[in-house]
């Protein structure tokens, strides 16, 4: 059985999907929400350096793709809770592996960068 979708094909929709996954802040939001539902301000605090605008954009995009659920709970002050959908939770698995890899191999990459900078004549 061949696969229905192939990332190597120029027009394959999986490329769009991959692009979304690779967006700067997607991995952070999914990682944060993997610990449980969270409110906007909580997310903003946890993901250091993210601006409210970008956080909103990222959440909307993930919501559109069915990865994140947004629950407005009314009341005052307003309460909005974001959570991963089952699809989002399934994405978390490979994303966590990537995150893990990144955190684990930082020293090797820093080393390689230093070495190639030295080779060029830094």
Which residues contribute to the site for a second copy (CB under 8 A)? 3-10, 13-14, 17-19, 21-24, 27-28, 31-32, 46-49, 63-67, 87, 90-91, 93-95, 97-103, 105-106, 108-113, 115-116
- Residue 82's CB is within 10 A of a number of other CB atoms, namely 22
CA–CA gap between residue 42 and residue 35 (Å, rounded): 12
Q: Choose one: 28-36, 53-61, 93-101, 106-114; the region binding DNA (CB under 7 A).
A: 53-61
Residue 15's alpha-carbon distances to 4, 18, 19, 58, in angstroms, are 13, 5, 6, 18
CA–CA gap between residue 62 and residue 39 (Å, rounded): 15
Question: If binding is defined by CB under 7 A, does position 57 make contact with DNA?
Answer: yes
What is the x/- site pattern for DNA, positions 12-51, by CB under 7 A?
A: -----------xxx-------------xxxx------xxx
């Amino acid at each position: 059985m061949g696969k229905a979708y192939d990332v190597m094909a120029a027009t394959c929709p999986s490329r769009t999907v991959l692009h979304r996954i690779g967006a700067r802040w997607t991995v952070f939001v999914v990682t944060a929400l993997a610990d449980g539902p969270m409110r906007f301000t909580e997310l903003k605090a946890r993901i250091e350096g993210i601006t409210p605008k970008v956080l909103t954009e990222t959440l909307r995009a993930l919501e559109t793709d069915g990865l994140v659920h947004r629950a407005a709970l009314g009341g005052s002050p307003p309460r909005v809770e974001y959570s991963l959908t089952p699809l989002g939770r399934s994405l978390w698995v490979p994303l966590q592996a990537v995150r893990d890899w990144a955190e684990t191999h930082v020293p090797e990459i820093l080393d390689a960068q230093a070495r190639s900078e030295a080779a060029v004549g830094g």
